[in-house]
A and B are shown apart, each in its own frame.
Chain A
Amino acid sequence: MVPAPENIIGYYGFPRREDIRLARERYGCHLPLVDLDVYQGAPDSGLLGTTTCRIISNIVDNAVFYSRRLSAVIADVGEGKCDRGRHIAYLLRGMGFQVIESRITEAEFENRPLVWSRSAGTLRERVNRIMDSVIDAAPPGDTPLPCAPTHGFWGVPPHDFRILDLFPPTTHIYGWTRCVEAGRPSDLELECSIDEGVPTVFFTQSFCAKQDLAHYLAEKFGGMEVDCHRDVNDSIGGKVEAFLKLS
C-alpha cells in the first residue's frame, strides 16, 4: 500500500518564532514546515488577478496544491510582510484553511549577527541559508568569514532564483533579506541601509510596494532598480549583467 503523503505546516513571511513553536506543538512537531512563499511546482490556481505579486500568488497556489495536507498556515500579517500578506490570510481562512495570524512587533526584534549577508559565496545559497533561519534560529556551524563587497543585492528572495546566479560571490545582501537575517523583519532603517559606493541592484517583485523604496534608493545610491514578475528573461538578465560588469 502506498503510504499517504505526510501532512505539512505551511508558513509565509517571517512569523514569530513562538507562533511557529506553538503551531508545531499543536499540529505535530514531526510535520515538515514548508515556506509557502516559494514556488513548489504548484499549478496556477487562477484565484488571484494576474497583476498580483508572484510571491503572494505562490502562497495561494501552494495552499490550493497541498490542500488537505496543509494542517495549518502560519501567516505573517505584520509590517514585515505587506498588506497583501494580511489580505490573503483572510482569503485563506475563507477558503477553509486553519490560519494562524502572526506579527512580530518592534519589541521582539532580535539582533542577530549578519553572517550570510556579509560573507562571500554563492548568492543563491546564502539567501537560502538566511531564509532557513526563519524556522531554525540556531547559528550556523560553518560560519563563513566576512568579505569586502564588490556588489550588492537589495531586496526580497526572488520568485525566480536564477537572477541571483548572475551576481559574483562577493555580493553583499541588503534590504528585507538582511532584515530577516538580523531577526528584524520590519526594521525600515535597516532595510534601507546600504554601503555607499557598492554598486547595488535594487530588486523587487513586480506589483510590490517595495518598488517605491527600490526606486528611491537606486536614485540615492546610484544603483539600478530591477523588477521581475515571473521568470527572469534575457532582457532582465542582460540588464543586470551590464550593470554588474560596468559599475
Chain B
Amino acid sequence: MLIADCGSTWTKILDTDTERLEIIQTREMVKRDDLFFEIATGHSGKNRCRLYRNELIALAEGSLSLVEEEDFSVVDVGGRDLKFIRFAGRKIQKLDWNLACGSSTGATIELLGNYYQADFDALAPSRKWINVTCGVFGMEKVLEHVSTGTDAGESLAMFIHGLVRNVFDFTGRPDRLFLSGGFCANNCFLQTLAKYCSVVALGRTVPLEGLRGKHHLEEADLTGGAP
C-alpha cells in the first residue's frame, strides 16, 4: 500500500509492503499521473488519494506512535509552515499551525542554501540572529548582510537562528522539543535549537507514521447536533 505525505516542497512516499521510502520533490510529484495513494496528507495529496487525512491530525497520530512519553511537545518545521502539538497525559492539550507570520521560512532557507551553496552540516551556528518575520523579510535581511560584507554562511546561520527563535516561541518555550520534518537533517538548525532547549529529532516521516493508523485519536463529529 502506498501512503504519502505531500509537503509543499518535498513528498515522502512509503510503500508499507516493502517499507521502501521514496522522497521526491513535490513539483516532480504533481507531474506524475501514475502516482495515486491509498492514504495521503498534505495539500498536494488531496486529489490523488483514496483517503485524505488532515496534516495536523496525521502529525499528532504519528507523534504518538513514535514517542512513548506521557507529556511532550512536538513541532514540525516545514517548507512553508510550523505545526505544533503539546500532549499532556497523551491527550492533546494545545495545537497550533503557523501559516501567516513565519511562513515559508523553511523553503527560504533551502533556496538560500542552494544559492550560496551552503553545507548545513558544516555550517557553524551563529550567536547572532536575523528577525525572521517571514521568508521574504528574512531573505531580504540575508541579502543585505551579505551585500554589506557579512560572510554568506554566517548570514545564513543568523537566518537559521532567527527561525529557531520563532520555533521556540511558537511552541511556548518548552524544556524539551521533539522535532519533525526536514530540519532534523540540518545540523546547524539542530545545534542552534539545542542552545534553547533539549531536542529530539524524529525525522521526516512522522506524518507517515500517523497515516499507518497505529494510533487513532478520537475525533469530534462536526456534523451532529443539528437543531
Q: Are A170 and B225 in contact (CB under 8 A)?
A: yes
Asked if B55 is an interface residue, CB under 8 A from chain A, the answer is: yes
Interface stretch, picked from A8-16, A30-38, A152-160, A239-247, is: A239-247
- Give the distance in Å from the alpha carbon of A71 to the alpha carbon of B194 in the complex: 63
Q: Are A167 and B222 in contact (CB under 8 A)?
A: yes
CB distance from B47 to the nearest CB of A (A): 11
Which of A144, A234, A236, A247 is within 8 Å of B220, CB to CB?
Answer: A247
A235 and B224 form a contact (CB under 8 A): no
Cβ of B96 within 8 Å of any chain A Cβ, yes or no, is yes
> Which residues of B sit under 8 angstroms from A137, Cβ to Cβ?
none
Determine if A209 is an interface residue (Cβ-Cβ < 8 Å). no
Q: How large is the interface on A (under 10, 10 to 19, 20 to 34, 35 or more residues)?
A: 20 to 34
28 contacts between A and B (CB under 8 A): A120-B225, A120-B227, A144-B227, A150-B220, A151-B220, A167-B222, A168-B222, A168-B223, A169-B227, A222-B94, A224-B96, A229-B100, A234-B46, A235-B43, A235-B81, A235-B99, A238-B97, A241-B54, A242-B57, A242-B95, A242-B97, A244-B222, A245-B54, A245-B222, A246-B60, A246-B219, A247-B92, A247-B220
Residue B117 at the chain A interface, CB threshold 8 Å: no
Q: How far is the CA of A236 from the CA of B56 in the complex (A)?
A: 11
Docked CA distance A224–B100 (Å): 14
**Minimal Cβ-Cβ distance residue in A for B223:** A168
Q: Does B35 contact A (CB under 8 A)?
A: no
Q: Mark B188-225, 1 if CB is under 8 A from A, else 0.
A: 00000000000000000000000000000101111111
Question: A150-B225, A225-B96, A235-B99 known; A168 and B220 CB under 8 Å?
Answer: yes
A239 engages B97 (CB within 8 Å):
yes
A217 CA / B94 CA spacing, docked (Å): 13
Nearest 10 CB-CB pairs, A to B? A242-B56, A239-B97, A170-B225, A245-B219, A120-B227, A168-B222, A169-B226, A242-B54, A235-B99, A246-B92
Q: Which residues of B contact A238 (CB under 8 A)?
A: 54-56, 97
Interface size class of B (residues with CB under 8 A): 20 to 34
Would you call A227 an interface residue if the criterion is a C-beta within 8 Å of the partner chain's C-beta atoms?
Answer: yes
With a cutoff of 8 Å between Cβ atoms, the chain A residues found around residue B94 in the complex are 222
Task: Tell me, in angstroms, the Cα distance from A50 to B92 when the chains sit together.
Answer: 36
- Using a CB–CB cutoff of 8 Å, the interface residues on chain A facing chain B are 119-121, 144-145, 147, 150-151, 166-170, 206, 222, 224-225, 227, 229, 234-236, 238-239, 241-247
Residue of B81, B95, B217, B223 with most chain A CB atoms under a 10 A cut-off: B95
List chain A residues, Cβ under 8 A from B25: none
CA A227 to CA B46, docked complex, whole Å: 23
The answer to whether B93 has its CB under 8 Å from any CB of chain A is yes
- The minimal Cβ–Cβ distance linking B161 to chain A, given in whole angstroms, is 24
Q: Are B95 and A236 in contact (CB under 8 A)?
A: no
